[in-house]
Amino acid sequence: MGLSSLILPAEYHSLLNILETEIAIKTVKDNFERNLANNLQLTRVSAPLFVNAVSGINDDLNGIERPVEFDILETKEDVQIVQSLAKWKRLALKRYGFEHGKGLYTDMNAIRRDEELDNLHSVYVDQWDWEKIITEEERNLITLKDTVKRIVKALKESENHLIAAFPQMKPFICEDVFFITSQELEDMYPELTPKQREDAICKLHKTVFVMQIGGLLKSGQKHDGRAPDYDDWNLNGDILIWYPILDRAIEISSMGIRVSPESLDKQLNESNCNARRSLEFHKQLLNGELPFTMGGGIGQSRICMVLLQKAHIGEVQASTWSNEMIEACANHGITLL
């Protein structure tokens, strides 16, 4: 594993020692979770660590990541560590009898074995996965944008709470969200890569929601990959913030209004994934048996890293890193847990 993508900020030093960091992590997680639940009308539920490999419930993310698989001795089943809970949550909303306008959130823990490790990415993933029921009429940009603003509000509220407890921290989260589609972003910066475009727009507007991710742009390229069977590619996006510690944009949430039977049919065709139509989740969805929903994932360690103003995600979570990365970080004042 190389270190080419590792950012080592000059003259970096943590504003919190290790013990203060652990206390602050707990403070941020408790406060943000409460703010998120209040702002989106969510109830916490328990969630699986692994699912049946042939159920179709596991998230394919960008469609190329390999899930961690193992067999169960007693049941003789092959199971997979979840990569996210996008499909499981939609089934749970129906099973648990949630009403319109209400939803669930859960602590999702996962292993992403193919992740490229750097300041923001770890093999260990912990995030708040959330999902709520909407009507078919609410499947629109107004609903999407309103929800994005509520999530950013929760983030700002948590920053304020943290600074009250640790006044050495300085606020930087901008609550005013700038909305732009991935095509508008490509039109604005055609010579840049998608990630460079995100950096450029976030440096200008600080907090940005890039919409409509998954389909092909006019250039024939995608802004980013999305599996075809959870988000509606016309009604989704990423929440990005400008992070001065690393001098770059950071994604804090991937979210969206979920596929309808019609948009699932269209996206399965476009992505050449029609074999999934035989899976139980997909059959229920195509038959109109599941509620209309929206949802997303919000990285817990990512939120802690940002609000604690750390340079590396390994400063707020215990994972595994190469010896070269550990040494390089240590030489630049970055202490990995």
Q: Which domains does the chain have, with CATH numbers?
A: 18-330 (3.30.930.10)
Q: Which residue among 33, 231, 238, 315 is the active-site one?
A: 238
Q: pTM to 2 decimals?
A: 0.91
Sign of CA dihedral 88, 181, 101, 299: positive
Which residue carries 């169960």 as its tokens? 72
Q: Let me know: does 210 contact 194? Beta carbons within 8 Å.
A: no
Q: Which residue among 251, 253, 263, 300 is the active-site one?
A: 251
What does the block give as tokens for 35?
A: 């703010």
Would you call 11 a catalytic residue per the annotation? no
Would you call 238 a catalytic residue per the annotation? yes
276-279: list long-range contacts, CB under 8 Å, 24+ apart: 276/56, 276/229, 279/54, 279/55, 279/56
DSSP-based three-state secondary structure for 265: helix
DSSP symbol at 311: S
Q: Which residue among 59, 118, 159, 199 is the active-site one?
A: 59
Would you call 84 a catalytic residue per the annotation? no
Q: Which residue among 80, 122, 127, 317 is the active-site one?
A: 127
Would you call 254 a catalytic residue per the annotation? yes
**Composition of the chain by helix, strand, coil, percent to 5:** 35, 20, 40
Would you call 187 a catalytic residue per the annotation? no
Who's near 292: CB < 8 A, 6+ residues apart?
133, 134, 135, 136, 138, 139, 257, 258, 260
Would you call 251 a catalytic residue per the annotation? yes
Q: Over its length of 337 residues, how does the chain's per-residue pLDDT go in tens digits?
A: 457 788 899 889 999 999 999 999 999 999 999 999 999 999 999 988 888 877 777 766 655 678 888 888 888 888 888 877 878 898 899 999 999 999 999 998 888 887 888 999 998 999 999 999 999 999 999 999 999 999 999 999 999 999 999 999 999 999 999 999 999 999 999 999 999 999 999 999 999 999 999 999 999 999 998 889 889 999 999 999 999 999 999 999 999 999 999 999 999 999 899 988 988 888 999 999 999 999 999 999 999 999 999 999 999 998 989 899 999 999 998 999 8
